[in-house]
Amino acid sequence: MRMIKSMTGYGIGRHENGTVKYTVELKSLNSKFLELSLRLPKVVSDRELALRTEASKLIERGKVNITVSAEYVDQTAKASNINAALLKQYYKQLQEIAQEVGETKASIFEMALTMPEVVNANEDAVDEEEGKVLMEAFYTAIANFTKFRQDEGEVLKKDLESRVHLILSYLLQVEEVDGNRIPLIRERLNRYLDEAVGKENVDMNRFEQELVYYIDKLDITEEKVRLKSHCNYFVEALNASDSNGKKLGFISQEIGREINTLGSKANDAHIQQIVVRMKEELEKIKEQLLNVL
């Protein structure tokens, strides 16, 4: 069963064959897309495309840094080569030039070492066996990276569930207040008419028609039903096999829409205070969803 994952992740993998040990390290942060950044030794530069292809399949989304390092048992195996004959030739020529112009000879050797083709790095591509060692380290890093994301995702899931249930508990408070809201509004309007014009001067049929229309505008039954439905759907989606941050984000937008409508229609100070607390929890949910894969 698939569970939600955090976009923040870390994983390291090592593998060796007696000749070389490869270490692959992965780090990721939030991103709407997959952004891969690879740092590889020159000796495995020809493997970059293969690593990118596998990473794209297995990581999905996030700003990901992949660092590869190689340690050879024989430190001279990939050492740079010095062209001794060419070095001597450069050194001799530089000495002669220095003598002619009267310059010091102190740095001539260092200059000769920097001349073209004196030092050639051994950049032979790795063979198939060494390539397998690299990929084993990579897949180990991916496994640890995925486990890290899943563990972080479980923490996020518990936090998101608790905040949605908190919104539902606030909805129960709204329902408790809402039971007396309409009768109190009706009573207040009746009292206002009595004081303003006197009941004998009021067309009660017209008053009742206007009152029904007004109260209908204040009715929040549909908003309460939809808000409860969206919250339950959020929890259901959170535990579904296809759960992901984008889907949960869409549902949270619907939750926010119902909360806003509920607050604007209620025309009640107590309910609006509860709505503010709902909005606070929803904002925290949206912040957390930015880190859900």
| Per-residue model confidence as pLDDT tens digits over 227-267 | 999 999 999 999 888 888 889 999 999 999 999 999 888 77
* Secondary structure, 3-state, 79-128: CCEECHHHHHHHHHHHHHHHHHHCCCCCCHHHHHHCCCCCEECCCCCCCH
Domain at 9-77+127-150, CATH from 3.30.1360, 3.30.70, 3.30.230, 3.30.360? 3.30.230
- Is the confidence at residue 102, as pLDDT, over 60? yes
pLDDT band at 85 (very low <50, low <70, confident <90, very high): confident
Rounded mean pLDDT, 18-37: 92
- Cβ neighbours, 10 Å, residue 80: 11
- Pairwise pLDDT comparison (135 vs 215), residue with the higher score: 135
From residue 117, give the alpha-carbon distance in Å to each of 45, 112, 163, 238.
Answer: 21, 10, 65, 61
Which residue, 272, 239, 251, 266, is CA-closest to 170?
272
Rounded mean pLDDT, 71-91: 68
Contact between 259 and 275 (Cβ < 8 Å):
yes
Q: Assign residue 267 a region (left: φ > 0; alpha: ψ between -120 and 50; beta: otherwise).
A: left
Place of tokens 């698939």: 2
Mean model confidence pLDDT for the chain: 83
Place of tokens 């390092």: 69
pLDDT tens per residue across span 138-191: 999 999 999 999 999 999 999 999 999 999 999 999 988 877 766 666 666 666
Delimit the CATH 3.30.230 region(s) of the chain. 9-77+127-150
Distance CA 26, CA 67 (A): 7
The two structure tokens encoding residue 290: 């930015």
For the chain, give the percent of residues with pLDDT over 90. Answer: 48
Element (H, E) at 161: helix 128-196
- Is the confidence at residue 114, as pLDDT, over 80? no
